[in-house]
Amino acid sequence: MKIVFSWLRELCPVELSPEELSDLLSWKGLHTESIVRPWEGLSGVVVARVLEVRDHPNSEKLCVARVNYGSGEREVVVGVRNMRPGDLVPLAGPGAKVPALPEPLSRREIRGVVSEGMICSPHELGISADHTCILVLPDDVPEGTEFKTLYGLDEVVVDLEVEANRADELSVLGVAREVAAATGIPLTPPDVSVAESETPAAEAATVEVRDGERCPRYLARVIEGVSPGSSPIRVQARLTASGMRPLSNVVDATNYVMLEMGQPMHPFDLARLDGRGIVVRRAEEGERLVTLDGVERVLSGEDLVIADRAKAVGIAGVFGSAAAEVSAATTEVLLESAHFAAYAITRTSRRLMLHTEASTRFGREADPEAVAPAAARAAGLIAEWAGGAVLRGAIDVGRPPERRRLSVRPERAAQVLGYGTSAADVAESLGRLQIAAEKRDHVVEVEVPGFRPDLQEEIDLIEEVVRVQGYDNLGSTLPGIKRPGGFAPTYEFRRRVRDALVRAGLREALSLSFASPADLDLMGVEAAAGVRVANPPSADEPFLRPSLVPNLLKALGRNAARGARGAALFEVGHAFRLDGAVQERELVAAVVNGPAGEGLHAEPRELDFFDAKGALEALVDSLGVGEWILGDAPGDPWHPGRSALVLVAGRAIGVVGELQPRAAERFDAVGRVAAFELDVGQLSEHASRARAVRDIPRFPPVRRDLAFVVDATIPAGAVRDAVSAAGGPLVDRIVMFDVFQGPPIPEGKKSLAFSVDFRAPVRTLVGVRSRAPHGLVRYHAPHGAELPVGRRSVSVRALGDPRPRGQGQGVPLRLFGTAGGAQRGDDLREAVHPDPGLFRSGDRRAGCAPPGPVFGGAAAGEGRDHRGYRAGAVPLRRRDRPAHLRAGTSGGAGPGRHHPGGERALGLRASVPMPGRPPDGEGVEGTPCGTHARLRRRREQRGPLAPARGGQGRGPRPRGHAPGLRADPPGGASGPGDRRGDRRGSRGHPRS
């Protein structure tokens, strides 16, 4: 609400500056949005008399006016010609400033004629928006009078934010009441007396109200003999400063009183009202009406219209129509001042999307008691500004409603506010707000005036009391909370999720909750399973997001477009699907894309599946999610060969994988895009904060690198699990460090390399050289398939063991075995261990038979038939490691890659039937390859790079492959946690 300061002072003559008043009002809840001085840019404009208007010699449109400004004459070029010789006009001479122009005026030549400034239009002076004519002034002042002083344009406008429940403050009077209450300066209400003619208004027109509920009161006054024209300049200036357009004196009078008193009114041309009467009725369903803005509106039966006997002439309380509009030809005016039910006006203006000054005030419930006084004041102003006579009395249908009566208990006020306030204080405080309050027994009885419809119950009055008494006088106390604070489990859990991903090097992003049809399509969500938004902020995204992935992909595309080299982002947020009801779930998603690093030390590679998986591992490990595995590829939009479902306790809780290139390209992401998305709620069900410290091992490990040549389709995780299970409790840690395909590994096979730490809790293990010859054994699988198995062995004995090496006194260290128990091939038991007690006695007899399936359920996943998993393989000593594992230029994992060393891999073979195939002998065979002796000879000829011989298992040994690719630090910590470490893929996976 823009309040013109001088207007406010007419109703409550405060001596405060606008800034001081603004501060005072904000303590009362009436906050200032801005303070402006609209005529700050006006100076030097004076009143001048037009002496002569003549044609411009070089222009048909322009003219030249000669004017007298009191102390001299000037010639000015003018674009319009509505001024005549003898008229008074505002002259802005050289050096003068007007609000509409940024620079002061100067003498300048316009088409060969020198113009000494300008004669101003109302627009240029900020009086109204009219720029089609020169402002011709009333002829009652001498030439040379300062224009700004003459019309009091040192005006200040304070724009106040009025709270939604305070209709009364949408008027100068309402604000003046607050000022009066805050300062104690008495209110001077507007003059509502009006000189009336003898003729009663009731004889000039009729009013019929057909809907008394929506229109409880309708009052009409009649003014005869008006001559519409411009309003006084000061009135126009006030309307403009208040944000309204001056139109004509009749209309301006109603707007002026609306701004002043808060009562919207409407003038009709009485002569154009059919039957000289008003009918207030509901609109016909589908009734059409052209409003004053020239738009045809279609009404409903719920809308209230003002009509005459023949037609609707306005939408009640919202907008008039051209049908009975006041025009220059109008002589008789019917002035409407009515009270409409707030709900009716709100609904109509909302439905028609038509919000006007009137509908805003009625919609908040205007003061029903202001109907008559506002009409009297407006009628008086019309007569004053437009001439004519106000007919006696009014046509008044309905009556003001009864005032609401409430009571306030001072002790209730004290309970809520925290300080005692007496009944007398309460009554006094309310009295300052012009609210009649009276102390009776122990309560204060209140009669709520019409201008305060917001006061509906006791608590509202208590607020008024503390508002008057001052929020600044309230003390500051704290409640005595008797319980500890804390986080809901969901909040706590989300924090752990975020922290883990930040530690894993991802950046948190946030995106809006909406999705396009293409996003749904991408994620394979049917439109019917999407949650539609009725009024989406963007028409392109009419759904709630079913997944966080599309928005993250868009973020990658945006970053790429801005020249960023990739990004690693995550988001935790809600996603929505429709499944009968709306399913709202919390998800966490991450995307990685671009180079693995930048600059000097960066690895020259692209982020890919394993980076996403690494982040996923970091996440689930830090959350203490126990058993989780990867399952089948989830299908579109995920890459069929580089994605998997994430399964916890047999249930899919998410996906990890690379996006199909086609999908990534849709979002303009460059290169591979890997991502994961998990259900946070399901994740939290399997998470744990429990940590039990395991003893730090006192004995050094024996480290052996083992490679297995297996069918290329066998998951590395299955082999790892087999190694783990076969090694039993002595396996302390398994780190997978290479995958190799290509010559000399046969077509369709791959070599998997693991570094295995063996450790006994109670004594030192020492590795000794194998005494077993290289060779082939025939080994019967339980289902009759005969599989060739190559072998080498590791033997391990304890330091200080008195028994000589190689005498086979140890027990077998069953690194490899088969499902279901072997009957033959027990001579795989080459490895020895000094302490039979570490093994179950049955192991010794059973030989290769492991306690349960070698390839455990963890690898295969529940619900999958993994009984067919079998493996036979032999361990590989370091120096026997295939060349590709030794050389720094370790080959990639891609099939068919050229092997730089050209040497054959060692004779390590594993044979693991394909998961899911019937375990009836269709197992895939490993293939024998390589001879150790030849390889060993070559190694020995190699010189410095060849590892030192003997003393294996002690101290750091050179690694045969490129340094830096290994995830495990030398002598790094190991523990049960690490035993899981490698199942999920190799971080040391060399790529080039």
Partner 1 sequence: MSAPPSSDESLATLDRELARGLDLVARASSVEDVEDAQTSLFGRKAPFAVVERALGSLPEDERRRVGQRTNEVRARLKAAITERRQALESERETAVLELDRIDVTLPGRRLRAGSLHPLTIVQQEIVEIFTRMGYRVVEGPEVEDEWHNFDALNIQPDHPARTMMDTTYLSVPGHPELLLRAHTSPMQIRTMQAEPPPVYVVVPGRVFRNEAITAKNMPVFHQVEGLAVDKGIRFSDLKGTVESFLRELLGADLRVRMTPSFFPFVEPGAQFDVSCFVCGGSGCKTCAFVGWIETMGAGMVHPRVLENVGYNPERYTGFAFGMGYDRLAMIRFGIPDIRILWESDVRFLEQFEGVG
The least distance separating partner 1 from the CB of residue 415, rounded to whole angstroms, comes to: 6
Stretch that binds partner 1, among 210-218, 267-275, 537-545, 750-758 (CB under 8 A): 537-545
**At 159, phi and psi to the nearest 5?**
-95, 115
Residue 142: other Cβ atoms inside 10 A: 9
The least distance separating partner 1 from the CB of residue 611, rounded to whole angstroms, comes to: 9
Q: Does 662 bind partner 1 (CB under 8 A)?
A: no
| Nearest residue (CB) to partner 1, 440 versus 495 | 495
Asked if 92 contacts 44 with a C-beta cutoff of 8 angstroms, the reply is: yes
Q: Binding residue for partner 1 (CB under 8 A) from 415, 807, 931, 992?
A: 415
Q: How far apart are CA 920 and CA 908, in angstroms?
A: 24
| Nearest residue (CB) to partner 1, 233 versus 531 | 531
Q: Binding residue for partner 1 (CB under 8 A) from 10, 13, 31, 892?
A: 31
Q: Does 537 bind partner 1 (CB under 8 A)?
A: yes
| CA contacts within 13 A on the Cβ side of 44 | 16
Stretch that binds partner 1, among 384-392, 439-447, 526-534, 708-716 (CB under 8 A): 526-534
Binding mask 165-184 for partner 1 (x = CB under 8 A): xx------------------
Instruction: Return the residues of window 598-627 that contact partner 1 according to CB under 8 A.
Output: 599-601
- Which structure tokens are listed for 841? 């006695």
Q: Binding residue for partner 1 (CB under 8 A) from 39, 147, 319, 576?
A: 576
Q: Binding residue for partner 1 (CB under 8 A) from 10, 13, 28, 130?
A: 28
Binding mask 33-52 for partner 1 (x = CB under 8 A): xx------------------
User: If you write DSSP's letter for every residue of 379-411 in order, what string do you get?
Assistant: HHHHHHHH--EEEES-EEEE-PPPPEEEEE-HH
Q: Does 552 bind partner 1 (CB under 8 A)?
A: yes
Q: Cα angle vertex 214, ends 212, 217, to 5°?
A: 55
Q: Binding residue for partner 1 (CB under 8 A) from 467, 686, 780, 864?
A: 467
- Which structure tokens are listed for 290? 């052209």
Q: How far apart are CA 39 and CA 517, in angstroms?
A: 53
Q: Does 29 bind partner 1 (CB under 8 A)?
A: yes
| Nearest residue (CB) to partner 1, 23 versus 284 | 23
| Nearest residue (CB) to partner 1, 350 versus 937 | 350
Q: Binding residue for partner 1 (CB under 8 A) from 328, 478, 539, 693?
A: 478
Asked if 702 contacts 766 with a C-beta cutoff of 8 angstroms, the reply is: yes
Q: Does 965 bind partner 1 (CB under 8 A)?
A: no
Spatial CA neighbour of 946 closest among 902, 890, 877, 887:
887
Query: Rounded to an integer, what is the distance from CA 55 to the centroid of its chain?
Result: 63
Q: Does 97 bind partner 1 (CB under 8 A)?
A: no
Stretch that binds partner 1, among 231-239, 436-444, 567-575, 796-804 (CB under 8 A): 567-575
Q: Does 482 bind partner 1 (CB under 8 A)?
A: yes
Q: Does 969 bind partner 1 (CB under 8 A)?
A: no
Q: Does 963 bind partner 1 (CB under 8 A)?
A: no
Spatial CA neighbour of 181 closest among 417, 397, 449, 419:
449
The least distance separating partner 1 from the CB of residue 933, rounded to whole angstroms, comes to: 38
Q: How far apart are CA 162 and CA 178, in angstroms?
A: 12
Helices (H), 232-293: 233-241, 249-261
# of chain residues touching partner 1 (CB under 8 A): 92
Q: Does 529 bind partner 1 (CB under 8 A)?
A: no
Q: Is there a cis peptide before residue 700, judged by omega within 30 degrees of 0? A: no
The least distance separating partner 1 from the CB of residue 229, rounded to whole angstroms, comes to: 38
The least distance separating partner 1 from the CB of residue 532, rounded to whole angstroms, comes to: 4
Q: Does 512 bind partner 1 (CB under 8 A)?
A: yes
| Nearest residue (CB) to partner 1, 239 versus 366 | 366
Spatial CA neighbour of 178 closest among 407, 33, 16, 337:
16
Q: Binding residue for partner 1 (CB under 8 A) from 271, 295, 510, 518?
A: 510
Segment (H or E) for 517: helix 517-522
Stretch that binds partner 1, among 315-323, 455-463, 679-687, 877-885 (CB under 8 A): 455-463
The least distance separating partner 1 from the CB of residue 833, rounded to whole angstroms, comes to: 39
Instruction: Return the residues of window 935-954 that contact partner 1 according to CB under 8 A.
Output: none
Q: How far apart are CA 758 and CA 697, in angstroms?
A: 11
| Nearest residue (CB) to partner 1, 343 versus 949 | 343
| b/e 966-983 (16+ beta carbons within 10 angstroms → b) | bbbeeeeebeeebbbbbb
Spatial CA neighbour of 39 closest among 152, 197, 133, 144:
152
Residue 794, strand partner residues? none
Q: What is the CA radius of gyration of the chain?
A: 46
Stretch that binds partner 1, among 70-78, 91-99, 161-169, 652-660 (CB under 8 A): 161-169
Q: Does 129 bind partner 1 (CB under 8 A)?
A: no
Asked if 465 contacts 426 with a C-beta cutoff of 8 angstroms, the reply is: yes
Residue 415: other Cβ atoms inside 10 A: 10
| Nearest residue (CB) to partner 1, 598 versus 685 | 598
Q: Does 527 bind partner 1 (CB under 8 A)?
A: no
Helix (H, G, I), strand (E, B) or coil at 882: coil
Binding mask 314-343 for partner 1 (x = CB under 8 A): ----------------------------xx
| Nearest residue (CB) to partner 1, 39 versus 493 | 493
The least distance separating partner 1 from the CB of residue 570, rounded to whole angstroms, comes to: 8
Sequence letter at residue 312:
A
Stretch that binds partner 1, among 69-77, 246-254, 530-538, 727-735 (CB under 8 A): 530-538
Q: Binding residue for partner 1 (CB under 8 A) from 230, 248, 516, 559?
A: 559
Binding mask 343-382 for partner 1 (x = CB under 8 A): x--xx--x------------x-------------------
Q: At what angle do helices 423-432 and 458-469 cross, to 10 degrees?
A: 80
Classify residue 201 by its DSSP letter: G
| b/e 840-870 (16+ beta carbons within 10 angstroms → b) | eeebeebbbbbbebbbbbbbbbeeeebbbbb
Segment (H or E) for 643: strand 638-648
Q: Does 897 bind partner 1 (CB under 8 A)?
A: no
Q: At what angle do helices 410-417 and 458-469 cross, to 10 degrees?
A: 70
The least distance separating partner 1 from the CB of residue 394, rounded to whole angstroms, comes to: 30
Sequence letter at residue 820:
G
Q: Binding residue for partner 1 (CB under 8 A) from 96, 324, 383, 555?
A: 555
Q: How far apart are CA 388 and CA 622, in angstroms?
A: 87
Q: Does 584 bind partner 1 (CB under 8 A)?
A: yes
**At 662, phi and psi to the nearest 5?**
-60, -45
| Nearest residue (CB) to partner 1, 163 versus 685 | 163
Sequence letter at residue 231:
S
Stretch that binds partner 1, among 472-480, 676-684, 899-907, 919-927 (CB under 8 A): 472-480
Q: Binding residue for partner 1 (CB under 8 A) from 573, 744, 825, 853?
A: 573
The least distance separating partner 1 from the CB of residue 331, rounded to whole angstroms, comes to: 40
Q: For residue 412, give every residue at least 6 positions away whose Cβ sits within 8 Å of its Cβ, in sequence order, or none.
A: 458, 462
Q: Binding residue for partner 1 (CB under 8 A) from 47, 119, 215, 567?
A: 567
Instruction: Return the residues of window 632-661 that contact partner 1 according to CB under 8 A.
Output: none
Helix (H, G, I), strand (E, B) or coil at 425: helix
Asked if 46 contacts 88 with a C-beta cutoff of 8 angstroms, the reply is: no
Q: How far apart are CA 512 and CA 515, in angstroms?
A: 8
The least distance separating partner 1 from the CB of residue 507, rounded to whole angstroms, comes to: 4
